[in-house]
Amino acid sequence: MGVLLLSILLLALATAGCGSKNANAGVKQLSKMPEMEIDPNKTYSAEFHTSKGDFSIDLFASDAPTTVNNFVYLAKQKFYDGVLFHRIIESFMIQTGDPTGTGSGGPGYNIPDELGSDHKYGLGTVAMANSGSPDSGGSQFFICTGPDCANLNLQPNYTIFGQVTEGMEAVLAIAKSPIIEDGEYNSKPKEKITINSIDIKEK
């Protein structure tokens, strides 16, 4: 794979100032990263209910405890309810988690990266998006939907914290949605595709 293609993929994942005050104007913000509430020795999953169907992901609490704790906290706070899938690249990924729907918003804080696990980027992988700088993730994440996502294994800078286990057809239906080509790799869908709610399960 050429350096140019990898650069394009990394640019597509950039959150462009995630958590900035201007981007989040009028959006609910949290004052700080949540305290650790999950038990890394337990198993967690998330059931997504979206405007394109339902799917489930297993969360990697033992490999990425801070990231999973953050996601679980935000989901339980209904932070993601009504949030758009704002970026779609069918051969690569679908991205969501920005309360502003612009690709630049976040929860009001950042969380540290949790890299170095044995997990690889592939179909159904769930990972944090970031601004391109270390420890710049917040609430935005992406789900791998095509072969281009595997190229991130050459530069694994995005915390992998889950895997789709059921309903991949709904994820791929989102990925196949028509997009607006704006020349900046944003690939905004023409229709509004939303997360209606997320249910967290603990065992």
Q: What is the mean pLDDT of residues 7-16?
A: 63
Structure confidence at residue 19 as a pLDDT band (50, 70, 90): very low
DSSP 77-106: TTTTTT-BEEEEETTTEEEE--TTSSSS--
pLDDT at 7 over 60: yes
Topology (CATH level 3) of domain 3-13+47-202: Cyclophilin (2.40.100)
DSSP calls for 158-176: S-EEEEEEE-HHHHHHHHT
Residue 103 phi/psi, 5° resolution? Answer: 90, 0
Of 18-32, 57-71, 87-101, the one with minimum mean pLDDT is 18-32
Q: Which residue has the higher pLDDT, 4 or 56?
A: 56
pLDDT band for 16, please (50, 70, 90 cuts): very low
State how far the Cα of 83 lies from the Cα of 184, in Å rounded to an integer.
21
Bridge partners of residue 194, in order along the sequence = 84
pLDDT in tens, 102-154: 999 999 999 999 999 999 999 999 999 999 999 999 999 999 999 999 999 99
Domain boundaries, the chain: 3-13+47-202
Determine whether 190 is exposed, middle or buried from the number of CB atoms within 10 Å of its CB (0-12, 13-18, 19+): exposed
According to the model, what pLDDT value does residue 1 have? 45
Query: Tens of pLDDT along 68-84?
Result: 999 999 999 999 999 99
